[in-house]
């Protein structure tokens, strides 16, 4: 599993035993990143604050960050933290990982320990859980997926066993409790967990009296003093009301109506609040402050204070103890002089201001008092008037008006006497704040700390028997409490298998962390559950992450109807039925917390009160079918019709007796309540988990019926439970007698269970005084493991067929009454079961995941008898182009097309990649509702398309198609809901095998390269293919290793060389597929570096055959429709020949290869292949000679026939060597002979026929390419590999000889003088200093007809730097590259024009036609949009010159390169085309007019990785 390094509050759950990898996201690649974690090193204990650094692994070498990772082998459950630092920043981000065992088979029953009686009686009372199916009889392990857990709520003093559990005359300790727990584990296979309570302790705890500093008292928390005063006043109000002293004011002891409530408000406002004067705790004593101020003024006190006056709260919260910042007072009220009258005047100002501030404080306290009154009345309404409340009756000392907020461990005295205790610390330290909870409060905020007014405003829903504990920030703040609670925790962890964090949401996180660390030190695989009342899943996640909570308690009772109850089942566990098989190495996706899904908890009202007794069984069945930990509360199964109060319940649970009579209160048996049904449901829950039924489907049949399917993805067995809920009592609600039929796909093997809650006429419920008894009138009528025909719930079952692959049983019901459950065991149709087994057998050659449920084929088809890898090994890379790629227009050449998903879109490719790109988005999310999945379920059209397009071809491709067809034939006979996952499995297997075969045919650079290198290398297969019609002109018949085929139309043998598409989808087929410039910019990266040497040679020679006028065509048009209108293609072609000779072993031999000339003279018609042939070196010589001589001609068929936009002057082509500089110069302002070749098309904007970027004169990259070519031929001649050292030309009417060596030297001497822009106005080489607007750069051209164009900053000089670095001075080159980086480098591409240029526009819109000359019809194609391919040359230039400038600069540059390329890797992985685009709009924004994947974009990025 992979986790990209990014901070998050999401939960990342990792199964025990997995390897977790950390990989760098795009923003971190190329930077020094260190990952720290507190996951313990092998053999060492966990220490939360002990972090160590993880080491990076480099699968493909340290020069590539795209694959590097560090990892953890997860062997210990718990919550662990990681963080990462970048550069000099130690913590740049981080998060948590939660390692957990598999939990989805836990079944739990919760008990109140005080209701279990003496310890000796516990086994008899706990036996009810055992007999209800909470026991498994196979061996148990701590990480097994089938643990059974029993919860015990132990509410005793922390370090001693509760004396209530010890019989008279006996002496029991924790050792005895531990022995009982161990006995239950060994004899019943039952594990026990208990509550741990960290937030509070019992108010009568002895140790809290001895150590009052452990609670919030009036000494360590003086901010609570006003709240304590109010609390005592309310207690005295209680005593007076109870005595009837307020009856005359309309407030009797027995509060029964709204008038009594209004009387409470009146008494509070008129009597109580005025008596205790709470505002005095928040006010300043005015005269004392004024006197202090007067003395300071008289002494001429100086101040450094700031103007503005505020009251400073007294930290001890004494009456009128607040003060004033005198420095601010002196700065605010300044006397005119030191005269007494001026000082008195100033004092008057202060007195008035302080009076105003005191009034403000009074107003604030009155607001607090108003809220307190509201809360007091609200509490009275709930406790005494509300139907759902406890109805406490008259006010008395046992049931006071409101619960007391503070302990008062002294004899009663008057309120006045009590208030005097405030100033006696030895007494007031024992006034301890009770605990409770605050509705709607932030659970991460401690409501008892300073700054909170919860106690003053009476917003706490208080637990009057508990004291809130005060831990502070760490053990140093309260040593006794931390030590006491740690010992309590260690005892608990020693004897129990897990803990439930009681009141977890209010427990300070740092406390819970520390305590759980101590617990896990004792028991590493501690099971931790908690119930959080945060109201926010994000806050829940914080607790789960920080504490490593194994399961969060969720409750079916939270559902208001059966639909919501079913949704909870889907929400809390399992993947959907028919889910996809996920790869072993996959991104770690955020999860929701594991659920402990209970039908009801102790905290909430009884379901029988809110729903009906009959709903207990079906709702319990719905919970049991969830693929997560499940459970219940003791009393639910016995149908106890009221909430068992955690605080007030004093009765005992009944004991187990299998023969217990229905009317027994002290004993329960199988026939009590729904126990027999619960036993069957628990056994089913455990069986489903143990056998891998991890997929879930919930069907809301009607308003009351929920059908839940659990499915095993390897055996394809299912269990379908149909539950008819009874949220309303059937005695008072009329349920529909017409139950809709069910359609269950497959063959019903048996009825696992059918159960109905029935009235057995055993009397009515009467609450027993000694035992927690249930309703005797109901029991469960149950049958288990019966044939379908023996069912009394099912009326009849018929089998219908939904086509060849799916059989459906139609079930009609006769006794599915409210409160009923029926569960079917369902298998596939026998034929489908066999064929899916065979399918899994063949898939197991690709992954062991398919071995379970697989069956060998008795009569395997011949094509399946060989491994797929063997069939794939016969494919060529051209075959793999057909198998994997081919866009719509390529496929249309063969009469086909890409597959269209009705109502959605057409796939990007006809080959496998078209589907793989879509499935890559569907698979991780199990998006079975996607239109592709719907299409697969509805019919075989897409399935047949995949195999048939290959079967119809010849040779090995047809065999692969037959292999797919044979696999699909098996697949077509399985149920349609399984088709998407198996279709995906087959395609993934085929695709990965094809990639392996492809890489084996490529160079070691690709085979040993990173995944980034391999992704880019696939661009070679994507772009290089053979169409129906040959795209390249024929090669000489004397050339070896040229592929041939028989033309299907003519029957003639013809060459079928691979050609290179410029880009997809726009430049992929027909005459627009091949372009000279694009081909030779891309050829090194996509063909030479990937090892496709023979195919590269063939392309070089094919283009050589089309040489005419000394030029290579731009648009090839099969040679017959070629256009010779570009000045640079020839030089890119020569660069590729040089690269071929340099890169390929014995590559110089290409110079001797014969070229069959299509145009041996400029004006001849195309010659037949073989008619005129000459070696390649002669063709090169001709090209160089023609440039030296000077090229000038008019294009054939000039006019609208070949270019409907170009003006007449533009059809004149010229190129020559400037004798003064040696630069190749040419073109005019009406044509564009370089790659920046946008021709204006808009008549509205009047730019039609005008090139946006003519770049006439000497374009910088052509100068660089020509220098590279001339230098190379000089070197070749010196080695005897090229027969020419120069050429004769005519100049000024004379024949002269030009030496290539002289030409090379001339270029070297001329370049920097002509192209470097120093910015120095006195530079003798600068002809137009007035046109310089960027200094420290290289010109884009030299001698342009528009002189300002020479000085425009564009990325083209970086090309010259790569091919002819000798032309550049390292320091100048570095300056220019720095400017380019700052001004031109975008997220993916290079801006084609300086953004400071007046005509810059970074958004390309070819459809826009307005009157804007610079924009209309995409005129700004190369005037700002960010093209990708120049990035490759920019980065390669940076790397080259960085090496020249030293190791430190080189290291920084390598990091820059990695960081820039990480964005390309991200785009490549996410693009459905699996390519890099031609261009983006400014700042990397998507451009819809761009080719989605472009050959030279992929190639030049691959070249950078090669250089690294």
Catalytically active residues, by annotation: 502, 505, 603
747: tokens are 């063959």
Please give the full DSSP string across 1100-1117, using - where no structure is assigned.
Answer: HHHHHTT-BTTB--SB-G
Q: Which residues of 1087-1112 are buried (b: 16+ CB within 10 A; e: fewer)?
A: bbbbbbbbbbbbbbbbbbbbbbbbbb
Rounded Cα distance, 378 and 358, in Å: 30
Rounded Cα distance, 980 and 984, in Å: 6
Tell how far CA 58 is from the center of its chain. 24
Name the nearest CA neighbour of 156 among 433, 409, 488.
Answer: 488
68: tokens are 């590097």
Rounded Cα distance, 1356 and 1235, in Å: 10
Residues 6+ apart with CB under 8 A from 1223: 1217, 1258, 1263, 1266, 1307, 1310, 1314, 1342, 1343
Rounded Cα distance, 428 and 1136, in Å: 92
Rounded Cα distance, 1004 and 1089, in Å: 9
Place of tokens 């109905």: 756
Rounded Cα distance, 506 and 247, in Å: 40
Rounded Cα distance, 946 and 186, in Å: 57
Place of tokens 């007809």: 1345
**Side-chain half-sphere exposure of 917, counting CA atoms within 13 A:** 21
Give the three-state DSSP class for 271: helix
1425: tokens are 């949009």
| Alpha helix segments (H runs only) across 1346-1446 | 1347-1350, 1357-1363, 1370-1383, 1429-1444
Rounded Cα distance, 179 and 181, in Å: 5
508: tokens are 């300070």
Give the three-state DSSP class for 223: helix
Rounded Cα distance, 304 and 283, in Å: 25
DSSP state letter for 611: S
For 1020, other C-beta atoms within 10 Å of its C-beta total: 29
Rounded Cα distance, 816 and 800, in Å: 22
- How would you class 1004 by CB atoms within 10 Å of its CB: exposed for 0-12, middle for 13-18, buried for 19 or more? exposed
The strand order across the sheet containing 2-4 reads 2-4, 19-23, 69-73
Name the nearest CA neighbour of 1211 among 1128, 1125, 1126.
Answer: 1125
Place of tokens 């011949």: 862
Name the nearest CA neighbour of 725 among 620, 626, 636, 627.
Answer: 620
Q: Which residues of 745-763 are buried (b: 16+ CB within 10 A; e: fewer)?
A: bbbbebbbbbbbbbeeeee
| Dihedral sign (CA 274, 278, 282, 287) | positive
Please give the full DSSP string across 768-817, using - where no structure is assigned.
Answer: -SSB----TTEEEEEEEEE-GGG-SSEEEEEEEESSTT-EEEEEEESS--
């Amino acid at each position: 599993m992979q986790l990209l390094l990014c901070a998050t509050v999401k939960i990342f759950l990792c199964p025990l035993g997995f390897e977790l990898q950390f990989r760098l996201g795009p923003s971190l690649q190329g930077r020094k990143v260190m990952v720290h974690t507190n996951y313990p090193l092998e053999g060492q204990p966990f220490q939360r604050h002990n972090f160590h650094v993880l080491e990076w692994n480099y699968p493909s070498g340290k020069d590539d960050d795209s694959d590097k990772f560090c990892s953890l082998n997860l062997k210990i459950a718990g919550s662990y933290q990681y963080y990462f630092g970048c550069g000099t920043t130690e913590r740049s981000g981080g998060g948590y990982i939660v390692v957990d065992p598999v939990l989805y088979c836990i079944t739990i029953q919760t008990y109140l320990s005080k209701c279990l009686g003496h310890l000796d009686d516990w086994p008899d009372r706990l036996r009810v859980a055992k007999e209800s199916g909470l026991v498994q009889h196979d061996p148990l392990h701590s990480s097994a997926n089938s643990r059974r857990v029993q919860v015990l709520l132990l509410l005793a003093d922390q370090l001693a066993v509760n004396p209530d559990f010890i019989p008279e005359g006996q002496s029991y300790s924790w050792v005895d409790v531990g022995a009982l727990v161990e006995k239950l584990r060994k004899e019943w296979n039952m594990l026990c967990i208990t509550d741990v309570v960290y937030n509070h302790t019992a108010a009568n705890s002895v140790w809290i009296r001895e150590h009052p500093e452990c609670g919030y008292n009036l000494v360590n928390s003086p901010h609570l003093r006003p709240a304590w005063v109010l609390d005592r006043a309310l207690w005295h109000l209680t005593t007076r009301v109870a005595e009837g002293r307020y009856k005359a004011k309309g407030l009797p002891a027995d509060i029964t109506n709204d008038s009594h409530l209004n009387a409470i408000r009146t008494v509070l406002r008129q009597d109580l609040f005025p008596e205790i004067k709470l505002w005095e705790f928040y006010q300043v004593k005015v005269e004392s402050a004024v006197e202090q101020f007067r003395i300071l003024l008289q002494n001429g006190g100086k101040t450094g204070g700031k103007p503005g006056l505020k009251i400073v709260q007294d930290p001890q919260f004494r009456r009128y103890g607040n003060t004033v910042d005198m420095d601010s007072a002196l700065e605010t009220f300044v006397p005119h002089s030191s005269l007494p009258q001026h000082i008195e005047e100033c004092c008057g100002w202060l007195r008035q201001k302080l009076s105003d501030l005191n009034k403000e404080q009074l107003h604030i306290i009155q607001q607090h008092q108003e809220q307190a009154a509201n809360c007091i009345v609200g509490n009275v309404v709930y406790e005494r008037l509300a139907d759902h409340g406890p109805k406490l009756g008259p006010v008395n000392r046992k049931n006071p008006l409101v619960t007391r907020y503070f302990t008062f461990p002294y004899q009663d005295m008057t309120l006045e006497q009590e208030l005097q205790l405030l100033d006696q610390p030895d007494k007031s330290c024992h006034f301890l704040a009770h605990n409770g909870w605050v509705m709607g409060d932030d659970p991460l905020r401690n409501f008892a700390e300073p700054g909170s007014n919860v106690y003053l405003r009476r917003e706490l829903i208080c637990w009057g028997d508990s004291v809130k504990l005060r831990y502070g920030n760490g053990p140093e703040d309260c040593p006794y409490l931390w030590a006491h609670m740690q010992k309590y925790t260690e005892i608990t962890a020693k004897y129990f298998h897990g803990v439930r964090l009681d009141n977890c949401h209010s427990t300070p996180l740092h406390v819970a962390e520390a305590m759980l660390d101590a617990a896990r030190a004792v028991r590493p695989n501690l099971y931790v559950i908690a119930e959080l009342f945060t109201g926010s899943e994000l806050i829940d996640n914080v607790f789960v992450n920080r504490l490593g909570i194994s399961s969060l308690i969720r409750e079916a009772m939270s559902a208001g109807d059966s639909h919501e109850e079913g949704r909870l089942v889907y929400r809390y566990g399992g993947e959907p039925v028919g889910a996809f098989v996920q790869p072993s190495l996959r991104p770690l996706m955020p999860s929701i917390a594991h659920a402990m899904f209970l039908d009801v908890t102790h905290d909430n009202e009884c379901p029988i009160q809110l729903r009906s007794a009959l709903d207990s069984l079906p709702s319990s069945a719905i919970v049991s079918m969830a693929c997560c930990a499940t459970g219940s509360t003791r009393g639910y199964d016995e149908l106890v019709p009221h909430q068992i109060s955690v605080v007030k319940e004093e009765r005992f649970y009944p004991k187990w007796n299998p023969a217990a009579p229905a009317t027994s209160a002290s004993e329960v048996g199988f026939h009590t309540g729904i126990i027999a049904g619960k036993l069957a449901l628990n056994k089913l829950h455990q069986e489903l988990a143990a056998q891998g039924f991890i997929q879930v489907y919930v069907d809301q049949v009607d308003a009351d019926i929920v059908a839940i399917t659990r499915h095993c993805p390897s055996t394809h067995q299912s269990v379908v439970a149909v539950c008819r809920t009874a949220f309303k009592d059937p005695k008072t609600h009329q349920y529909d007698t017409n139950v809709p039929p069910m359609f269950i796909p497959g063959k019903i093997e048996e009825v696992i269970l059918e159960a109905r809650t029935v009235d057995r006429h055993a009397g009515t419920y009467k609450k027993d005084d000694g035992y927690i008894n249930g309703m005797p009138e109901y029991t469960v009528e149950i049958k288990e493991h019966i044939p379908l025909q023996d069912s009394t719930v099912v009326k009849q079952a018929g089998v219908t067929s939904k086509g060849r692959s799916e059989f459906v049983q139609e079930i009609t019901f006769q006794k599915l009454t409210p409160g009923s459950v029926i569960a079917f065991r369902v298998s596939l149709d026998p034929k489908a079961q066999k064929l899916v087994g065979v399918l899994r057998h063949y898939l197991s050659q690709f992954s062991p995941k398919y071995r379970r449920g697989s069956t060998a084929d008795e009569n395997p088809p011949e094509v399946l008898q060989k491994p797929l890898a063997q069939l794939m090994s016969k494919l060529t890379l051209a075959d793999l182009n057909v198998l994997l790629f081919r866009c719509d227009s390529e496929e249309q050449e063969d009469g086909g097309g890409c597959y269209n998903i009705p109502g959605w879109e057409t796939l990007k490719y006809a080959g496998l990649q078209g589907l793989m790109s879509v499935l890559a988005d569907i698979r991780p999310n199990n998006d079975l509702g996607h239109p592709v999945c719907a299409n697969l379920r509805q019919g075989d059209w897409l399935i047949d398309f995949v195999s048939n397009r290959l079967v119809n071809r010849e040779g090995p491709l047809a065999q692969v198609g037959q292999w797919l067809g044979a696999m699909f034939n098996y697949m077509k006979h399985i149920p349609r809901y399984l088709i998407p996952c198996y279709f995906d499995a087959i395609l993934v297997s085929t695709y990965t095998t094809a990639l392996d075969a492809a890489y084996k045919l490529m160079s070691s650079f690709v085979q040993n390269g990173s995944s980034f290198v391999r992704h880019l290398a696939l661009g070679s297969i994507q772009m290089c293919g053979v169409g129906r019609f040959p795209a390249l002109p024929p090669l000489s018949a004397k050339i070896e290793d040229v592929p041939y085929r028989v033309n299907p139309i003519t029957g003639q043998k013809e060459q079928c060389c691979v050609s290179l598409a410029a880009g997809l989808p726009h430049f992929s087929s027909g005459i627009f597929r091949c372009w000279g410039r694009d081909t030779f910019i891309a050829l090194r990266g996509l063909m030479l570096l990937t090892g496709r040497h023979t195919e590269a040679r063939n392309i070089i020679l094919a283009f050589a055959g089309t040489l005419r006028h000394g030029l290579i065509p731009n648009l090839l048009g099969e040679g017959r429709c070629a256009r010779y209108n570009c000045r640079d293609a020839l030089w890119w072609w020569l660069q590729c020949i040089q690269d071929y000779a340099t890169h390929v072993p014995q590559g110089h031999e290409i110079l001797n290869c014969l070229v069959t000339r299509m145009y041996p003279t400029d004006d001849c018609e195309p010659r037949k292949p073989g008619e005129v042939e000459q070696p390649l070196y002669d063709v090169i010589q001709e090209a160089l000679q023609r440039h030296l001589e000077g090229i000038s001609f008019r294009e054939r068929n000039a006019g609208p026939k070949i270019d409907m936009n170009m003006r007449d002057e533009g059809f004149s082509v010229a190129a020559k060597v400037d004798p003064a500089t040696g630069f190749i110069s040419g073109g005019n302002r009406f044509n564009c002979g370089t790659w920046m070749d946008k021709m204006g098309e808009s008549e509205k904007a009047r730019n039609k026929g005008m090139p946006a970027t003519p770049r006439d004169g000497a374009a910088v990259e052509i100068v660089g390419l020509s220098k590279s070519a001339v230098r190379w031929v000089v070197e070749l001649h010196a080695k005897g590999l090229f027969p020419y050292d120069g050429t004769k030309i005519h100049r000024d009417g004379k024949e002269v000889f030009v030496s290539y060596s002289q030409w090379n030297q001339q270029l070297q001497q001329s370049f920097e003088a002509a192209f470097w822009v120093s910015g120095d106005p006195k530079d003798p080489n600068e002809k137009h200093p007035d046109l310089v607007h960027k200094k420290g750069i290289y010109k884009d051209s030299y001698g342009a007809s528009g002189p300002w164009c020479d000085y425009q900053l564009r990325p083209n000089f970086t090309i010259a730097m790569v091919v002819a670095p000798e032309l550049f001075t390292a320091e100048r080159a570095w300056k220019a590259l720095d400017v380019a980086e700052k001004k031109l480098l975008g997220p993916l591409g290079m801006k084609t024009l300086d953004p400071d240029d007046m005509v810059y526009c970074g958004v390309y819109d070819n459809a826009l036609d307005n009157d804007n000359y610079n924009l209309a019809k995409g005129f700004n194609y190369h005037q700002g949009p960010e093209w990708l391919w120049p990035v490759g040359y920019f980065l390669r230039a940076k790397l080259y010159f960085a090496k020249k400038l030293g190791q430190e600069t080189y290291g920084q540059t390598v990091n820059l390169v990695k960081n820039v390329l990480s964005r390309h890797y991200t785009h490549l992985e996410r693009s459905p085309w699996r390519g890099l685009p031609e261009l983006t709009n400014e700042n990397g924004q998507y451009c819809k007019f761009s080719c989605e994947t472009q050959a030279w974009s992929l190639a030049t990025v691959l070249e950078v990785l090669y250089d690294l």
